[in-house]
Amino acid sequence: MLPDRLARLLTSYIDGELTARQRRAVQRLLQRSPEARRLLAELRGDSALIRSLPARPMRQDLSQSVLQAIALRGLRVPPPRRAAPRWRLLSPWLAYAVAASVLLMIGTASFLYFDTAERWDNRRVVVQKENKLARPGDNRSTSATPAGNQQASAPSEKRPDQPVTPTTPSPVADTPKPQLPEPPAVVNNQSETQPPKPPTVVNNQPKPEPSKPGPSTSQDELTTPRSVEPRPDPLQVTPPRLNILAVRELDLPEVQKQLTDDLARTDALRLELFCLDSGKAFERIQAALQGQGVRLVFDPDAQAKVRQKAKVDYVFYTEDLTATELAAVLRHLASEDKKAAARRPTDGQFGKAVLNPLSDTDRRELAALLGVPVGQLARSSAMSPASRKPERAMLVVSYTPSRSGAPAREVVKQFLDSRGDRRPESLQVLLVLRNL
Amino acid sequence: MFSDDNRLITECLQGRTEAFGELVRRYQDRLYNTVYRLTGNAEDAQDIVQETFLNAYLSLDSFKGESLFFTWLYRIAVNTALSLKRRSRRLVAQRIKARLNDEELEPSDNSEDSQPGLALERAEEERRIQSILNRLSPEHRAVLILKDIEGQKYETMADILGVPVGTIRSRLHRARMELRELLKQLDKG
């Protein structure tokens, strides 16, 4: 009999999962041991036997039924989780360097801004002085002087009685100057009758982009209304799905508030709870519901699966819970699941809770699951508090959409028939417990 | 192919559900074959594959691209199939019995219609192998199928089954030894 250690090497050998050294050891073993050779041949034969099984393709295109189920259940892909920014993974020194660069850039930009502003002020002062010194009627210095020349002139280089001209050729003087638009006639007229006003500097100030003569901004252009593109109405929003929440956070005050707000927006909802193992998660839901005095009414198939602790999806349906009670159930669920996870991390069962308003599609799906017409789900309006039923019930069926449409079982009929009128403020709740 | 998967996943995350249909078409056969060999039952396999795709759709945002999309799908499918098997061993026993009585398996290769004798012979052999596989524990069956049918590496299998590579190594060894014993018994009987 070959020792187990060597037999293990042989199984890894036929799987091609040995290191070179182990492979050499196995080859030496095979050379000297007929028993090893026999076992290897048998293991290879067994493996070949399994590999000889023919491939069994699916006999139908499943994509249509999957897409249909997605649409029927109103499933949506959650928005992508934001990955941690890459810079967080880099050295902290890089962060310091980036911060220093940003500060440097801000400093440089500030300097340039204030420096430029000061130059503009200086130019403005020069122009104003020139305007004051200009003889009445002589507007050459203010309106006919090319702006480019003024740009090149410095206050200290000018004499008050001279037109503003550059004393030294500027580096850009040789370049062809753009044709400036003629100054508006109204300025000249004003200058003849009134002392020049500071605003006339507008005509003398260099254009922001003199090298790019754009279309002239005439008064007509400024006053002609432009075609305004329609902007989306900020108040017009599409009705959103309610929310995606982490079950274990449902006992936090701020999350509870958000949940209560969400529940207040609807009177019928579909709540999907995602769990690791519905066999265990079911017990927690049951305890949370019983804490609110809710009795579970089991479809026989679902009851058998619950007893087996089978990992299957379940549907719970009730019209007897108020938003406050449902919030309390979820709070209880969150706290119990958190406690379990604290005892042993693998005991935490719940992931996300997805809340959606109950759509017509959901109602049709529920009716198909229960095996009743959609109309039978409808229930008369809220009853008076005096006739309120003391007991609240919730129907539990296993969630097997592919087998939906079967006739309703007796227990389902009884559950639906025994419903009274709805309590005031009670919600129609379709809860789906789904395995991840 | 794999960059194409990523493109389809991205499109799906952006709300184009049809892109998911393309992923389903791309992988349904391979996934079905594996799940069918795990469960030994066509109906169960179909349900599991459908639920796998729906679960994958809902968890698509958690797919980080660290493994191949198909490996990720496998993880969901195999674990679903294994859990189902663990929870209903009694049902499994009944099905194995049924399988041994040759009640459920059908010939898989229709192209051999012209050679009905050969087709029957192959179908018989398939039934025999599948019935032996069904006698193994679900964990042992899973590693054998992943290794011998899917040709996966230990590392990928560990990723799919969520156990260390060492566990895969020893589990596969025990599975092969168990299979050997079953085949010996069958040969004697």
Is the CB of residue A117 less than 8 Å away from at least one CB of chain B? no
- Band (B102; pLDDT cuts 50, 70, 90): very low
β-partners of residue A245 are A353
Cα distance from A312 to chain B (closest Cα, Å)?
Answer: 8
Predicted local confidence at residue A240, as pLDDT:
40
Q: Indicate whether B3 and B83 sit together in one domain.
A: yes
Residue B37 lies in a domain: yes
Contact A306, A298 (CB under 8 A): yes
Highest mean predicted confidence (pLDDT) among A23-37, A73-87, A278-292, A413-427: A23-37
Predicted local confidence at residue B81, as pLDDT:
79
Q: What's the CATH code of the domain at B182?
A: 1.10.10.10
Contact B133, B143 (CB under 8 A): no
Boundary of a domain, candidates B61, B87, B113? B87
Number of domains making up chain B = 2
Distance CA A173, CA A169 (A): 6
CA dihedral B50, B54, B55, B59 (to 10 degrees): 150
| Position B104 pLDDT exceeds 70 | no
Q: Indicate whether B10 and B71 sit together in one domain.
A: yes
Lowest mean pLDDT among A200-214, A279-293, A325-339, B42-56: A200-214
This prediction's pTM: 0.44
Contact B172, A14 (CB under 8 A): no
For residues A249-262, one letter each, b for 16 or more C-beta atoms within 10 angstroms of the residue's C-beta and e for the rest, the string is: ebbeeebbebbeeb
Predicted local confidence at residue A126, as pLDDT:
63
Q: Indicate whether B69 and B146 sit together in one domain.
A: no
Distance CA A75, CA A77 (A): 7
Residue B65 lies in a domain: yes
| Helix (H) or strand (E) run with residue A434 in it | strand A426-435
Within a 13 Å sphere around the CA of B74, how many CA atoms are in the beta-carbon half? 23
Q: What is the 3-state secondary structure (H, E, C) of A69-88?
A: HHHHHCCCCCCCCCCCCHHH
> Using the beta-carbon criterion (under 8 Å), do B32 and A57 form an inter-chain contact?
yes
Residue B147 lies in a domain: yes
Residue B27 lies in a domain: yes
Cα distance from A46 to chain B (closest Cα, Å)?
Answer: 7
Lowest mean pLDDT among A135-149, A334-348, B136-150: A135-149
The residue of A66, A278, A403 whose CB has the most chain B CBs within 10 angstroms, and thus the best one to mutate to test that interface, is A66
- Chain A residue numbers touching B59 (CB-CB < 8 A): 436
Predicted local confidence at residue A78, as pLDDT:
67
Boundary of a domain, candidates B87, B108, B126? B87
Which strands sit side by side in the sheet containing A243-246, from one edge to the other?
A243-246, A350-357, A268-275, A426-435, A314-322, A392-398, A294-298
Q: What's the CATH code of the domain at B78?
A: 1.10.1740.10
| Helix (H) or strand (E) run with residue A269 in it | strand A268-275
Boundary of a domain, candidates B52, B87, B122? B87
Domain span at B151? 136-189
ipTM of the complex as predicted: 0.82
> Using the beta-carbon criterion (under 8 Å), do A279 and B87 form an inter-chain contact?
yes
Distance CA B162, CA B154 (A): 12
Strand ranges, E, within chain B: none
The residue of A53, A282, A356 whose CB has the most chain B CBs within 10 angstroms, and thus the best one to mutate to test that interface, is A53
Domain boundaries, chain A: 4-45, 94-170+180-205, 243-435
Helices (H), A240-318: 253-264, 278-291, 300-307
Interface of B with A in 151-180 (CB under 8 A): 153-154, 169-170, 172-173, 176-177, 179-180
- Chain A residue numbers touching B79 (CB-CB < 8 A): none
